[in-house]
Amino acid sequence: MPTFGIAIFPEHAPRRFAELCRRVDGGLFEQVWIPDERFFRDLAVQLTLAAINTERVRIGSAVTDPFIRHPALTATLMASVDEISGGRLIAGIGAGVSGFKQLGVQQERPQLAIREGVALMRALWKGGDVEFDGKTTSFHGRGLEFTPPRGEVPVWIAGRGPAVLELAGAVAQGVMVGALASEPGLRYANEHIDKGLDVFSEVVKEAERGL
Query: Per-residue confidence at 186, pLDDT binned at 50, 70, 90?
Result: confident
pLDDT, one tens digit per residue, over 116-136 is 999 999 999 999 999 999 999
Query: Per-residue confidence at 73, pLDDT binned at 50, 70, 90?
Result: very high
pLDDT, one tens digit per residue, over 12-52 is 999 999 999 999 999 999 999 999 999 999 999 999 999 99
Nearest Cα residue to 100 out of 146, 136, 65 = 65
Domain ranges within the chain, ordered by starting residue: 5-208
Nearest Cα residue to 114 out of 56, 168, 50, 41 = 168
What is the C-alpha separation between 3 and 138, in angstroms, rounded? 36
Interval 41-66 mean pLDDT? 97
Q: Kindly give, in sequence order, each residue whose CB lies less than 8 Å from that of residue 168, ignoring residues fewer than 6 positions away.
A: 156, 157, 158, 159, 174, 175, 193, 196
What is the C-alpha separation between 101 and 99, in angstroms, rounded? 6
pLDDT, one tens digit per residue, over 82-100 is 999 999 999 999 999 899 9
Reduced to 3 states, what is the DSSP secondary structure of residue 147?
coil
Give yes or no for a contact between 64 and 96, defined as CB atoms under 8 angstroms apart: yes
Positive/negative CA dihedral, 188, 191, 197, 203: negative
pLDDT, one tens digit per residue, over 122-181 is 999 999 999 999 999 999 999 999 988 899 999 999 999 999 999 999 999 999 987 767
204 pLDDT higher than 70: no
How many Cβ atoms sit within 10 Å of the Cβ of residue 202? 11
Provide the whole-model pTM. Answer: 0.92
185 pLDDT higher than 50: yes
Query: Per-residue confidence at 205, pLDDT binned at 50, 70, 90?
Result: low
Q: Which CATH number, 3.40.640.10, 3.40.720.10, 3.20.20.30, 3.40.50.720, labels domain 5-208?
A: 3.20.20.30
